[in-house]
Chain A
Amino acid sequence: AQSVTQPDIHITVSEGASLELRCNYSYGATPYLFWYVQSPGQGLQLLLKYFSGDTLVQGIKGFEAEFKRSQSSFNLRKPSVHWSDAAEYFCAVARGDTDKLIFGTGTRLQVFP
């Protein structure tokens, strides 16, 4: 069965600093990969997704993620973090277009001014 691991439970960065959130997946074939963001008291919102093609995908709010098959990773990056990026970030994996999503445990991002 596929699974997804987010090794960092909590990350703190200063506003303006760069950010990288880690995500590793376990699946035999190329999975569908996603990053979702959850602001306090809200549901999850899709940031970006990877299905195939270019391994560097762009998302909303200035985020990007890179699929690295050799490392089974799909890390999320942002060159300059804003205070409004403070939220919880979830990586997720699915086997195909109609398969259910499996979420990681999330990484809570705190941003200091």
Chain B
Amino acid sequence: DAGVIQSPRHEVTEMGQEVTLRCKPISGHDYLFWYRQTMMRGLELLIYFNNNVPIDDSGMPEDRFSAKMPNASFSTLKIQPSEPRDSAVYFCASSLTSGANVLTFGAGSRLTVL
């Protein structure tokens, strides 16, 4: 298996622009998680899905952030409009039902908002 695949690996955009980050989880994994990593706040869980259904989105910072999982093999995290404080590395991770917290992480998407 190719592991959890995230794209793009790097994104530089200007404030106010829409940003879409993509994730392909490992086939057969029922859970998908989006994390954000910054120097100031460390690793924060933004949202997670179980069988494509959002279970907990309490970590989503504000309405500018949205996440979808239209099918078992694809998820997006969208920021609209983006702000400089959104600059961070965004990680997607997936896991099996039998070990929802044994995560396999993607390599991350580094977002810079100018």
Interface residues in chain A, defined as those with a beta carbon under 8 Å from any beta carbon in chain B = 32, 34, 36, 41-46, 49, 90, 92, 94, 97-106
Q: Tally inter-chain residue pairs, CB-CB below 8 A.
A: 55
Report whether B105 and A44 are in contact in the complex, using a CB–CB cutoff of 8 Å.
Answer: yes
Closest 7 CB pairs of A and B: A43-B105, A103-B43, A94-B101, A98-B100, A105-B42, A101-B101, A44-B105
A41 to B42, CA, bound (A): 15
Size of the chain B interface, CB-CB below 8 angstroms: 22
Report whether B42 and A103 are in contact in the complex, using a CB–CB cutoff of 8 Å.
Answer: yes
**B76 → chain A, closest Cβ, in Å?**
18
Q: A32-B101, A100-B101 given as contacts; is B106 within 8 A of A43 (CB)?
A: yes
**B99 → chain A, closest Cβ, in Å?**
7
**B1 → chain A, closest Cβ, in Å?**
15
A71 to B106, CA, bound (A): 33
Report whether B91 and A44 are in contact in the complex, using a CB–CB cutoff of 8 Å.
Answer: yes
A1 to B32, CA, bound (A): 22
Report whether B101 and A97 are in contact in the complex, using a CB–CB cutoff of 8 Å.
Answer: yes
For the complex, is B114 an interface residue (Cβ under 8 Å from A)? no
**B32 → chain A, closest Cβ, in Å?**
12
**A71 → chain B, closest Cβ, in Å?**
22
Residues of chain A with a CB closer than 8 A to B102's CB:
34, 46, 49
A90 to B45, CA, bound (A): 14
Residues of chain B with a CB closer than 8 A to A45's CB:
105
A94 to B101, CA, bound (A): 7
A-B contact pairs, 9 of them (CB 8 A): A41-B107, A43-B106, A43-B107, A92-B101, A97-B98, A97-B99, A100-B48, A101-B45, A103-B43
Report whether A100 and B91 are in contact in the complex, using a CB–CB cutoff of 8 Å.
Answer: no
- Which among A34, A45, A94, A103 has the greatest number of chain B C-beta atoms within 10 A? A103
For the complex, is B25 an interface residue (Cβ under 8 Å from A)? no
